[in-house]
Every structure is written in C-alpha cells, then in structure tokens.
Structure 1
Amino acid sequence: MIGFGRRRNLRPGEMFPAGDPAYRVSFPRLRSGIKIRVVERGDPSSPPILLVHGWGCSVYVFRRNMPALAAAGFRAIAIDLKGHGLSDKPLAANEYTVESLVEHLREILDALGLESPALAGHSLGGSLIYHFASRYPERARCLGMLSPVGLKGVALMWLYRFLTPGPLTPILRQINPRVIVKLALMRVYGKRGHFTKRDVAEYLAPSQHPEFSLAMRELLHHYDWNAADHLPLAIVNLPAAGVWGSLDHLMPHDGMAIYVPLVPQIVLRAIPDAGHIITEETPDEVNEELIALLHRAGF
C-alpha cells in the first residue's frame, strides 16, 4: 500500500456512535438490495428529522447535532448514503447521479416508515434534499440546507475531477488517504474550531473498504454539481433554512442566492468566521437554526 503511516483504521464497532447506548444503530436493506447504516437518537415516537451528509462523509458529521435535536423533542435520524460510511458501496456510475440519489433517498424514507419527515442536509446533502423535495414535495415537511453545494458548482471541482481520471482507478485502491483527509479537513474548517485526531480517524475509517475511494470517484464525476446549468429547477414551497459559514471555500461566492427564488420560504443565516463543515465547527448555531425551522414547520 502507498501510505503515509501505518496506524490502524477504526474497526466498524469503534466508529461513531461506538456503542453509546444513547444511540440506536440499524442496517436496513432497501428495495434496491442496498444495505445502509442508520443511527438514531431521541424518542422513536417524536417528530423525525432525517440528516443527510455530503461527499466523503458519514453519520459522524452530525454527532454534535443529534443530542441537541433529541433533547429538543425530536427523533434525529442520520444515515450513511450508499458509497459512504458503513453502507454498501456499489460501483456503477449510474448509482451516483442526482436522479439515482433522489430515488435512494426515497427508498430510505420508505424503509424507515417516514412519510413526510423534516430533512436536513449538509454540503451535497443540502442540494440532494432540495432535488428530492422538488421531485417528491409531499414527502418532506421542511428543508434545512447546511452549506449546500451542487446547484452552482463547487470551487475547484474541475481540478478534483482532473486528478481522478478513469485510468487512475487501480491506483486509487492503493492509496492510504490519511494525509488527504487531514488536508481536506484543513480546507473545510474556518476560524471557529479545529479538527482532532479522532476526526481524522473517523473520516479515514471507510477507506479500509477498497470500494470506498472508487465510489467517491464515481460520485465526484457523475453527480451533477452544476445542476442549475443542466436541469430544470422547480420551486419548493416548504419552510426552509439556509445556513453557511462566511469562510466557506467550497461554496461559490453567491452559492446561497440561487435558493432564494427556488425556495421562497427560506430563512438565510451566514455564520461569521465559520468554514464549510458548520455542523462540527459551529454546532450551537446550526442546532439553533434547525430547531427554529422545525418549530416554523409546525412540529
């Protein structure tokens, strides 16, 4: 293996929530046959909010949000999307298009018995829940879009795709991404927090599965990150929150502006000095906005 160190990866049972009894972990199999990981916190009878992570992440990105949501009287449900975390990792390119991921999200709601939950998504998850609600508006109660990317592009996306061409696929299986994870975390944090060795270990853990890096490549190349240029965008008339960090280097400079006409009920908030990963860096502000959104939605 090409590597930058020989530290052992976290075993699945050591990954968040690592046996914490406050959480419930399950692995439902969807109609498509794909098995996903689901992590829940809060009373199962409470109003549900489904938390959807972004590219390369997992349920771990919501670890500082789930306790507050549960304490506020909600059922916080975080998922590993296909290709991520401890969920199955299909490698076909058509598994990672916008259309496929929208249907994947619908399958998840069906498998969990969620008729019309609140949806919150970070990064890619933010644009994904918009696409989902535009296709299935009756299946969402409200939208919490946290540093959303995927309608107006991602900074340096051309470079990320250039560095991961198809001929390099066999090499991707051999790379230990520890240093890449550290560099990525440095880029997504602002001035309000810092990442830890545990954070690096959690984000690195899925790489022990050889399919992970290949699935990430497929998502990088086949998700439509500039959907506003290629897809018809519908108006979604649901209560919504748009929250982002003022030092976000991944979102386009005017990245939230596109949502104002598309989601007329959206309430915007920029968090000063925060970067892209606001769920970790400024959880109190994010939790405040999500709980306010849930109340606006009538929960």
Structure 2
Amino acid sequence: MDVLRTPDERFEGLADWPFAPNYLEIRDADGTALRLHYVDEGPREAAPILLMHGEPSWAYLYRKIIAALVAKGHRVIAPDLIGFGRSDKPAARTDYTYERHVAWMSAWLTALDLKDITLFCQDWGGLIGLRLVAAFPERFKAVVAGNTFLPVGGGSSDGFTAWLNFSQNAPVLPIGFILQGGSGRELTEAEVAAYEAPFPDESYKAGARQFPALVPVTPEHPSVAENKAAWEVLERFDKPFITAFSDNDPVTRGMDATLQARIPGAKGQPHVTLSGGHFLQEDSPAEIAEILDKIAKA
C-alpha cells in the first residue's frame, strides 16, 4: 500500500484552529503502518466526547464545538479518518473499503482505551461510528446522531444519487466547494481554504473519491451483512441515543425517524431538528455543543 502524508505546513495558520495535533500509528491487516491524527483537548481524566466527521471533511468541521465544550470542562476528541485531514492517505482507491475504515478506527479506539464515551457522529462519521458502538457498546455512554444512517442495501435518496454521480464524475473534486454547498451559511475564504488544506492535489483525494461509492445502498454492496449484524446490537442499545438532524439535508432527510424507532435508547429522548444543511456543524455549532454538554453531564 502506497501512503501519502500531507505536509505539515499545509495546516499552519488555519482560521480558528489553535489545537495541537496528536498522532497514533495503527497497522492495516496487510502490515502497512498508518498515522492517524486526532485532536485531544480538555482534561485527560474527564470522560471523552468523541466527534466523528464524514465525507469529505476533517476534524476542522468541529472547531467551534470543540472550543465550546472544552470551555465547559469536557475532554473532547476529534479524529481524522484515514484519507482525510492530517491522517495518512493511502494512494489507491482500492485501498479504501468500509470494513478497513471500521478496522482502522477500532484499532485507534481500543489503543487509546476510550471509555464512557459520548459520541457525536455525522455522515460517514455515523456509518463508521455506529459500527464502533455496535462493536464496543460497553465503551459508550450516549450517542448523538446528526445527518447519518447505517444502510443495509437500501435507503438511497435523490440527494445521495446526485452526490454519488458528481463525486465519481467530476474531473476535479472541489473539496471547499462541496463543504460550502452542504452548509447553510456562507463560509469565509479562510474556512474554505482550511477544508482544502489536507489535499495538495488530486492524488491525495482517493479516499474522498471512494467514500460515496462504498455506502451500501444496494444489496450487492459489500458490508451489507456487517451492517445488519450491527443493527442487531443497536436494536438492543438502551443507553441515551439522540437524533439531531438538520432541516435542510437532502441526503439523509427522514432517516432520524428510523433511528428513533429502532434503537431503544432513543425512546423519550429530547430529539431535535436543527437549522442547517448537510454539514450542520457549520450551521448550528452552539446548539450541538449544548446538546452534548447536557447529555455528557447527565
């Protein structure tokens, strides 16, 4: 496996990003060493709030939420998925599979020995994060899911189909443009540049290109069986589970109702619909931080 690493200078002086990098080396099943980056702010002895991003963003998506939660005394951890942010980036699209992503993040989670976790997950942060909850339910205290799902061979939407077609056919994958298009508010030039920072050129975007094609929305997709097995665990998960979807996401609209209906821990919880697009962290960061503060302290 050939692995690319974004130069550190690409991350210097980013807007609203004062957080020191942390790294953990994990190993793929083929023996390849991969360096995974994560933010780890706040008191190390505190129970962690885990923030998981999706496609094609990185931990920068959570910058305002991290700052707000640390100010309230929480420990906040925000990893970059392999292929994104400051984490290493395998160079071939075939290096990326759903199961590899789950294995990489499982290795990271267990190596840090995180426990009593409150999770916020969005987009692929949920497709992977909910698999982590299913694999290690004893490590999680509560879950907040925003604009995400765990598909098992169906559940596509017109919005997702349009995104899939664009991501697979655009000659240049415009990361900043995608983040802007999926946010309700107007991003600044500095914010757009920060989202583009991990990708010096198209060769670094193999993971970003491949992710949409990996979502198991047909019975023929890999990982359908693994996600069905995860659902069997989630349908017994009785710890607090809150949905915080946005009001303007064409990709995941309505999927919060399914999560609420199928996961026991969702019953009686203060589910909320927030203002924003697909990247609701850009549109409602204060509201998300408030939800996480309350449930983490409960």
TM value normalised by structure 1: 0.80
1:120 is aligned to 2:116: no
Query: Percent of aligned pairs with the same residue?
Result: 22
Structure 1 range deviating more: 43-52 or 155-164: 155-164
1:270 is aligned to 2:273: yes
Q: Distance in 1 between matches of 2:66 and 2:138?
A: 25
1:14 is aligned to 2:13: yes
Structure 1 range deviating more: 74-83 or 42-51: 42-51
Q: Distance in 2 between matches of 1:143 and 1:85?
A: 23
8 Å Cα contact 1:53-1:124 kept in structure 2:
yes
Q: Distance in 1 between matches of 2:217 and 2:100?
A: 14
Determine helix, strand or coil for the equivalent of 2:179. Answer: helix
8 Å Cα contact 2:97-2:214 kept in structure 1:
yes
Residue type of the alignment partner of 1:198: A
Determine helix, strand or coil for the equivalent of 1:50. Answer: strand
1:221 is aligned to 2:221: no
Determine helix, strand or coil for the equivalent of 1:257. Answer: helix
Following TM superposition, by how much is the alpha carbon of 1:256 offset from its aligned partner in structure 2, in angstroms?
Answer: 0.6
Counterparts of 1:87-106 in structure 2 under 5 Å? 87-90=87-90, 91=92, 93=94, 95-97=96-98, 99-106=99-106
Structure 1 range deviating more: 113-122 or 74-83: 113-122
Following TM superposition, by how much is the alpha carbon of 1:38 offset from its aligned partner in structure 2, in angstroms?
Answer: 1.1
Over residues 154-189 of structure 1, what are the superposed CA-to-partner deviations in whole Å (9 max), with x where a residue is unaligned? 543333434455xx7xx95xx3x55x632x234322
Matched with 1:195 is 187
Which of 205, 212, 229 is the aligned partner of 2:197?
A: 205
Matched with 2:160 is 157
Could you list the runs of 5+ residues in structure 1 that have no partner in the other structure? 1-8
Matched with 1:4 is none
Q: Distance in 1 between matches of 2:93 and 2:139?
A: 27
8 Å Cα contact 1:194-1:281 kept in structure 2:
no
Residue type of the alignment partner of 2:21: V
Residue type of the alignment partner of 2:192: V
8 Å Cα contact 2:38-2:78 kept in structure 1:
yes
Residue type of the alignment partner of 1:132: L
8 Å Cα contact 1:240-1:265 kept in structure 2:
yes
8 Å Cα contact 1:240-1:263 kept in structure 2:
yes
Matched with 2:287 is 285
Which of 25, 28, 40 is the aligned partner of 1:29?
A: 25
RMSD: 2.7
Determine helix, strand or coil for the equivalent of 1:76. Answer: strand
Following TM superposition, by how much is the alpha carbon of 1:10 offset from its aligned partner in structure 2, in angstroms?
Answer: 7.1
8 Å Cα contact 1:44-1:75 kept in structure 2:
yes
Over residues 190-230 of structure 1, what are the superposed CA-to-partner deviations in whole Å (9 max), with x where a residue is unaligned? 3xx32111121011112215443222122121232569976
Following TM superposition, by how much is the alpha carbon of 1:295 offset from its aligned partner in structure 2, in angstroms?
Answer: 2.4
Following TM superposition, by how much is the alpha carbon of 1:35 offset from its aligned partner in structure 2, in angstroms?
Answer: 0.6
Q: Distance in 2 between matches of 1:86 and 1:49?
A: 20
8 Å Cα contact 1:16-1:60 kept in structure 2:
no
Q: Distance in 2 between matches of 1:163 and 1:279?
A: 23
Over residues 90-146 of structure 1, what are the superposed CA-to-partner deviations in whole Å (9 max), with x where a residue is unaligned? 23536331x322222211112323134222112221232222212221232211212
Could you list the runs of 5+ residues in structure 2 that have no partner in the other structure? 1-7
TM value normalised by structure 2: 0.80
Q: Distance in 1 between matches of 2:181 and 2:36?
A: 28
Determine helix, strand or coil for the equivalent of 2:50. Answer: strand
Over residues 71-90 of structure 1, what are the superposed CA-to-partner deviations in whole Å (9 max), with x where a residue is unaligned? 22211011110011111112
8 Å Cα contact 1:36-1:82 kept in structure 2:
yes
